[in-house]
Amino acid sequence: MSFFAIARLLIVAAVAGGSAWSANGPANAAMMQDNIERYRVEAKALGQGFEAFSAERGRILFSSSPAAGKPDTPSCTACHTTDPAGVGQTRAGKEIAPMALSRTPDRYIDVKKIEKWFRRNCNSVLGRECTPLEKGDFLTFMASQ
Amino acid sequence: MPLYPVTIIAVAMVLMVSTAVRADERYTPIQDSVVAEECGACHMAFQPQMLPEKSWQKIIGDLSNHFGEDASLDPETVTRIEKYHRDNAADSGWLSGKFMRGLNKTSAPLRITATPYWVREHNEEVPERAWRDPKVKSKANCTACHRRANQGDYDDD
């Protein structure tokens, strides 16, 4: 096999690998939108005059310090840092992958996983479950980051 | 020449002893992938051999109040995690593990770091300033110092 043949093979492999990798991005984002859609249906069903999710309200929720739940977790940012693209740290010292969709593209795919962490962390930080409006706002904000 | 077999035996004995010393702090890595993933989401998934069954019952029975956080899980997953910890607790099996040292049948410490064995292994060797290092952050962060703790290997002390 000549040098050029090998080089061509390597380039083809690199291009194929690259496109396979980037192709996951839109698929992940679409699955995240499906989950946002699910919360939209729930929010509408509450009949409280729901209009649309807001990334800005999501940002405020993420950045706030409600300190209304458990004492060791006064805010989202206590563990996730104030930057959605930042690497967080649990109280036990373990790294937390960034919340921003652009940094952790496969974070918002699985319904059960999303619901599990909303239940746990809303209880820990807010002392109650989050509403469908809060969940949709939060995901809309993270999808924009 | 008459010394030859003696030498072989001596070398073999030295190897046996040194192997035993090296493999002193080894615990079976967690075999159940669900247990490994769920228990390892926020902290290192501690090997169940490090607390008695009664301790695990208390801890896993109150995941909504888990050391200051809500770590609740669906009932099926909780049952699976409970069984794995019951089957592999420090006091399971015929011979109790070393984490039962200084504990009796009724003791149920809620933290591995509260067991007499853990305290004895760490209190003289680890200076106070090491615990304050921001990279350590918590006594629950075994891997900060024991790099292979996830694989049940704590021999690097």
Predicted confidence band at A36 (pLDDT cuts at 50, 70, 90)?
Answer: very high
Predicted confidence band at B124 (pLDDT cuts at 50, 70, 90)?
Answer: confident
Predicted confidence band at A19 (pLDDT cuts at 50, 70, 90)?
Answer: very low
Nearest residue to B26 (alpha-carbon basis) of B149, B157, B109: B149
pLDDT at A20 over 50: no
Domain count, chain A: 1
Between A58 and B10, where is the model more confident?
A58
Residue B33 lies in a domain: yes
Range of the domain at B78: 27-151
Tell me, what CATH number does A78's domain have? 1.10.760.10
d(CA B134, CA A110): 33
CB contact under 8 Å between A91 and B72, yes or no, is no
Residue B157 lies in a domain: no
pLDDT at position B156 is: 77
Hey, is the C-beta of A52 within 8 angstroms of any chain B C-beta? Answer: no
pLDDT in tens, A101-145: 999 999 999 999 999 999 999 999 999 999 999 999 999 999 999
Residue B4 lies in a domain: no
Range of the domain at A96: 3-143
CB contact under 8 Å between A120 and B71, yes or no, is yes
CB contact under 8 Å between B69 and A116, yes or no, is no
Which residues in chain B touch residue A124, judged by CB atoms under 8 angstroms apart?
69-70
Residue B52 lies in a domain: yes
Residue B17 lies in a domain: no
Terminal alpha carbon distance of chain A: 47
Rg (CA), chain A: 19
Domain count, chain B: 1
Residue B9 lies in a domain: no
Whether the CB-CB separation of A121 and A96 falls below 8 Å is answered with: no
Residue B35 lies in a domain: yes
CB contact under 8 Å between A92 and B68, yes or no, is no
